[in-house]
A and B are shown apart, each in its own frame.
Chain A
């Protein structure tokens, strides 16, 4: 299957700083990327959907200004958590899907800890 690489796999940052998480499709062109958030022992909650070259579509309740998503190329999408606070600590997972794909491929996730 196709490979999606997410970086970093874990990050610790100070409260008030911003953190950028990258999601790359390594061997296919990802026309659509999805960003999920997962709290401990819970399911994945979709945060936003991004199509290459367009603004991301955010799910209800997700702050656009806090979780900035950029999908400027067919192989890279980034999620920036701005002015991070301890409550933003979570596991963030991306997935990517290309034209003609009938499934989305997941990155390995990023564990964000805000101290």
Chain B
């Protein structure tokens, strides 16, 4: 079974600083990886996803993530954080795509706080 670990429960960065949120996965084959963002009391918004191909994927809002098979990691990065980026971030993995029945396994989330 697949699993996801987000080692950092809370992270605080200054506005304008760079950001990296860590995500490690466990899965025997090639995983399908996602990063979602959740604002308080809201649903989840997809930031980016990795299925195959280029290991550096670009997402919305200036985010990017790099898939590193050797490290079983899929860390999320942003060069310059904005105050509006403060939210909860979830990494998720799907063990395989069935084109309609893809059950996500989520990490525990990282709460991002941005200091002005």
Measured CB to CB, the residues of A under 8 A from B are 1, 6, 31-32, 34, 41-44, 46, 49, 51, 91, 93, 95, 97-109, 111
Partner of B90, one of A43, A98, A99, A102: A43
In this complex, which of B36, B41, B43, B107 has the most chain A Cβ atoms within 10 angstroms of its Cβ? B43
Going nearest first, the 9 A-B pairs with the smallest beta carbon separation are A108-B43, A106-B44, A106-B43, A31-B100, A109-B43, A99-B100, A43-B108, A32-B101, A43-B106
Q: How many residues in B have their beta carbons less than 8 Å from beta carbons of A?
A: 25
Contacting residues of chain B (49-97) with chain A, CB-CB under 8 angstroms: 49, 51, 90, 97
Contact check, B100 vs A93: say whether CB atoms are below 8 A apart: no
Report how far A79 CA is from B97 CA in the complex, Å.
Answer: 25
Partner of A42, one of B34, B100, B103, B109: B109
Q: Which residues of A contact B109 (CB under 8 A)?
A: 42-43
Supply 14 A–B pairs (Cβ within 8 Å), ascending by A: A42-B109, A44-B90, A44-B106, A46-B105, A97-B100, A97-B101, A98-B100, A102-B49, A103-B34, A106-B36, A106-B45, A107-B43, A109-B41, A109-B42
Report how far A81 CA is from B23 CA in the complex, Å.
Answer: 33
Please classify the interface of chain B as helix (H, G, I), strand (E, B), loop, or mixed, using the class held by over half of its residues: loop
Measured CB to CB, the residues of B under 8 A from A are 32, 34, 36, 41-46, 49, 51, 90, 97, 99-109, 111
- How many Å from the CB of A103 to the closest CB on chain B? 6
